[in-house]
Amino acid sequence: MKEHPLQIKMNTNTKLKVSNLTKTRKSSDFFWAYLMIAPTMLGLFIFYLWPIFQTFYFSFTEWGAFGQFEWTGLDNYKRMLEDTNLLKSFKNTGIYIIFTVPIGIILSILIAVLLNQKIKGKSVYRTLYFLPVITMPAAIAMVWKWLYNSDYGLLNYILSLFGIKGPQWVSDPKIALYSIIVVAIWSGIGYNMVIFLSGLQGIPKSYYEAAEIDGAGPISVFFKITLPLLSPVIFFVSITSLIGAFQVFDLIFMMIGKSSTALESTQSVVYLFYQHAFVLNDKGYAAAIAVLLLVVILIITAIQMVLQKKWVHYD
Amino acid sequence: MEKTRQLVKSKTFLIHFVLIVGSVAMVMPFLWMILTSLKTYAESIHVPPVIFPKDLQWGNFIEVFGLLPFFKFMFNTFIITVVRTAGQLFLCSLAAYAFARIEFPGRNILFLLALSVLMVPGQVFLLPQYMIMVKLGWLNTLQAVIVPGMFSAFGTFLLRQFFMGLPKELEEAARLDGCNHFQIYWKVMLPLAKPGLIALGIFTTLWSWNELMWPMIVNSSPESMTLSVGLSSLQGQYLTNYPVLMAGSFLAILSMLVLFIILQKQFIEGIAVTGGK
């Protein structure tokens, strides 16, 4: 069949029109996309991305009293090697992490598993455990400091009923860090519990029914079904809690006074960063501490990523 | 049969027992805070402790307001929290929509760039951020706390997950009706991403209300102080009067407590969402 010349013309015309249409649609797509991401990307760039490079640069400088600074090369990093305070702050932070992260995770899994049973009053329990999560750390620190008060605190009074003379919870250098750890665990349980609870609810009921038919006891159900199926959530929580614990500041700042005898044995890496950056006006060294913190966190996260292959089950 | 019923019963009892012991540990500090805030100073340091104050000392609360411009702190914290949260919800969802639903050159690189912020501990940003505030002359202003807090890589990431899960048909229908991307985002997608928006909103509200370090660094004058910072300064100047300290602490957490009690479900589900993604 021979096509009419007019028809051919029309065909090419519409084709042209269509491709023009997709072209304008595409460029309008781009226009909208860039417009929509612009505010956030600009904000992130100015306040977050560029500062990473700036901090890195500052870590090679030394600051004067009036905000002027000069390039000093690796001096700050060399200084770190001899800074016993920094070493101690890493040790303190390490102890803090070793206790708060695992104990916090174990307790919140326990509570989540119990709340996942068929019992009455679930939502009341959930609310009570969640209370510390919504409370500002400054207020938490304040009330715990009062509970820990060695002369009039409730805690030492309760101990005295059993004939025990309670210690100086927040001013004894040997104990203060552990007192803070207790508060940290207390205030973090609710947050992780909620995440574990939603993870538990994602485990299909059929697994448990099958286990029941096989006659498995609650403990073997927990270790053979619940724990492996929850492992991706545990992995997630362990990463976020570890990163969070590495940056502990508020509780220490609030609970341990600036002139406390326990300051040396409690100050964390971030506390030391704050001191150098905003109290001592030693910003170059503070920047170096921040860079070191970044490197350590990246390394530990990377290690966790590698280790997860051994224990996290994705199905 | 009788035996299994008894077993179930004792199991339930054990579960409740553990949960109740835990609950007491959770609530006791709050109760002690409230009880102490209503005691006289003498009652608060009495040995053995006075559990219930003889007369409720509401004066402690008045004293807090006399010591510090507490209403001002509350107002500041409120403004900071509301503007930050609203700003973040709008800006993050806008960017998240584009990242999730539009294909454009450089999308992956730009998104990775935004994500890289999540890997970096906050202290790395603080010094340069502080210097920006000095340069802008924003020290001791509310915008010093508000503006950097309006941009969030976390929020963008979270909401992008939500937008990615929505069906494509909705968008196509809206396009045939001649909607542009902003209209699709605003009219079609935003209402559907509500759970994500609520989650991010609660997360940001909590964070802004409770944050200590950044507001302390940039705002040290009482005019622009937040509750957290005000509370920490109260501790310095009023070291031993615990009834007043507890009254101040209670006032500082009260609004968030009320909000939580009203929006319990949203709080808990919201936190579960931010953790699960």
Confirm or reject contact between A197 and chain B (CB < 8 A).
Answer: yes
Torsion of CA B152, B158, B161, B166, to 10 degrees: -90
Amino acid occupying residue B11: K
- Mutation target among A136, A185, A259, A276 for the B interface, most CBs of B within 10 A: A136
Contact B127 A55 (CB under 8 A): yes
Contact B128 A154 (CB under 8 A): no
> Which candidate in A44, A61, A68 is best for mutational testing of the B interface (most B CBs within 10 A)?
A44
Q: Which pLDDT value is given to residue B193?
A: 92
CA distance B90 to chain A (A): 10
Rounded CA gap, B99 and A33, in Å? 8
DSSP one-letter code for B152: -
Please choose, from the candidates B122, B187, B200, the residue with its C-alpha nearest in 3D space to the C-alpha of residue B161: B200
Nearest to residue A290, comparing CAs of A44, A42, A57? A57
- Distance, CA of A183 to CA of B254 (rounded, Å): 20
Per-residue HEC secondary structure of B93-133 comes to HHHHHHHHHCCCCCHHHHHHHHHHHHHCCCHHHHHHHHHHH
Residue of B nearest to A185 (CA): B26
Q: Tell me which residue in A29, A195, A293 faces B123 most closely, judged by beta carbons.
A: A293
Average pLDDT, rounded, for chain A: 90
CA distance A5 to chain B (A): 32
Compute the count of residue pairs across chains A and B with CB atoms less than 8 Å apart.
Answer: 273
Yes or no, beta carbons of A143 and B33 under 8 Å apart = yes
Q: Under a CB-based contact definition with an 8 Å cutoff, are residues B224 and B142 in contact?
A: yes
pLDDT, mean of residues A24-38 = 89
Report yes or no: A247 at the B interface, CB cutoff 8 Å: yes
All structural domains of chain A with their residue ranges:
1-46, 75-311
Of the candidates B160, B68, B58, B50, the one whose C-alpha atom is nearest the C-alpha of residue B112 is B160
Distances from the Cα of A122 to the Cα of A111, A118, A126, B183, B193, angstroms = 11, 9, 6, 42, 28
Listed by number, the residues of chain A in 29-48 with a beta carbon closer than 8 Å to a beta carbon of chain B are 29-30, 32-37, 39-41, 43-44, 46-48
Chain B, nearest residue to A108 by Cα: B22
Q: Do residues B197 and B93 make contact, with C-beta atoms less than 8 angstroms apart?
A: yes
A138 touches chain B (CB under 8 A): yes
Among A105, A126, A58, which residue's Cα sits nearest to residue A283? A58
Q: What is the dihedral sign for C-alpha A279, A285, A287, A293? A: negative
Identity of residue B246: M
Strand partners, A63: A69
- Structure confidence at residue A45 (pLDDT): 97
Residue B276: pLDDT above 50?
yes
Q: Which tokens hold the place of A19?
A: 């491709």
Task: Say whether pLDDT at A1 is over 50.
Answer: no
Specify the CATH number of the domain A75-311: 1.10.3720.10
Q: Does A106 touch chain B (CB under 8 A)?
A: no
Closest partner CB to B12 (pick from A32, A119, A237):
A119
Q: Do A39 and B102 touch (CB under 8 A)?
A: no
Can you tell me the mean pLDDT for B36-49?
91
Taking contacts as CB-CB distances below 8 angstroms, the residues of chain A near B235 are: 142, 254
Q: Would you state the pLDDT for residue B98?
A: 96
pLDDT at res. A314: 79
What pLDDT, in 10s, does the model give residues A240-277?
Answer: 999 999 999 999 999 998 888 899 999 999 999 999 99
Which residues 144-183 of A have a C-beta within 8 angstroms of B?
Answer: 144, 146-147, 149, 151-152, 154, 157
- Residue-wise pLDDT tens digits, A140-165: 999 999 999 988 999 999 999 999 99
DSSP label of A2: P
pLDDT tens by residue, A50-59? 999 999 999 9
With beta carbons less than 8 A apart as the criterion, state whether B188 and B171 touch: yes
Q: How confident is the model at residue A20 (pLDDT cuts 50, 70, 90)?
A: low
* Domains along chain B with CATH numbers: 2-60 (no CATH), 68-237 (1.10.3720.10)
Query: What pLDDT band is residue A28 in, cutting at 50, 70 and 90?
Result: confident
Crossing angle of helices A176-201 and A137-148, in 10° steps, is: 130
Q: For B78-111, b where at least 16 C-beta lie within 10 A, e where not — what string?
A: eebbebbbebbbebbbbbbbbbbbbebeebeebb
Whole-number average pLDDT of chain B: 91
Per CB-CB distance under 8 Å, the chain B contacts of A47 are 125, 129, 132, 147-148, 151
Name the percent of chain A in helix, strand, coil, to the closest 5.
75, 0, 25
Chain A residues closer than 8 Å to B242 by CB: 146, 149, 152
d(C-alpha B27, C-alpha B5), whole Å:
32
CA distance A70 to chain B (A): 16
Query: pLDDT exceeding 90 applies to what percent of chain B?
Result: 74
Among candidates B99, B256, B268 on the partner chain, residue whose Cβ is nearest the Cβ of A194: B268
Strands A69-71 and A61-63: antiparallel
- What is the model's pLDDT at position A275? 95
Which amino acid is located at B261 in the chain?
I
Q: How many helices (H) and strands (E) does chain A have?
A: 14, 2
pLDDT of res. A211: 87
Decide if B212 contacts A250 (C-beta within 8 A).
yes
Q: What is the pLDDT of residues A166-213, one digit of tens each?
A: 999 998 999 999 999 999 999 999 999 999 999 999 899 888 888 888
| Residues of B in Cβ contact (< 8 Å) with A191 | 271, 275
Who's near A237: CB < 8 A, 6+ residues apart?
A105, A108, A192, A195, A196, B275
Residue B277: per-residue pLDDT: 46
Which of these, B66, B57, B65, B73, lies nearest to B243 by C-alpha position?
B57
How many Cβ atoms from other residues are within 10 Å of residue A148's Cβ? 24
Give dist(CA A250, CA B213) in Å, integer.
7
Compare CB distances from B210 to A58, A137, A143 and report the shortest one's residue. A137
d(CA A39, CA B264): 32
